[in-house]
Structure 1
Amino acid sequence: MEYFTNPYNFVPFTGTCQREPLNLGPQECMTGYFECELELLTPLFIPNTSNKYALCSEEERNKKYTGYEFCSYEDLSGNIQPGKTGPKDPVIPGSEIRGAVRSVYEAAFGGCASTMRVDTVVGQEVPKKTYPGVLVREAENKCCFIPCKRATFNERRYFREGQEIWVKLEKSYHDQNGTSFFYMSVKDYQMPDGRNKPSDYYRGWIH
Structure 2
Amino acid sequence: MRARASDMGACVMRNIKTPFSKSDTSSGGHDHRRCVDHALNAAERVCAAAGARLTPLRRRVLLEVWASHDPIGAYDILRRLKGDALKAAPPTVYRALDFLMKYGLVHRLESRNAFIGCRTPESAHAGHFLICARCGDVAEFDDDRLDGTISDAAARVGFAAHRAAVEIRGLCPSCQENDDERTTAP
Normalising by the smaller structure, the TM-score range is under 0.3
Question: Going by fraction, where is helix more abundant, 1 or 2?
Answer: 2
* Larger of the two Rg values belongs to structure: 1
TM-score (norm 2): 0.22
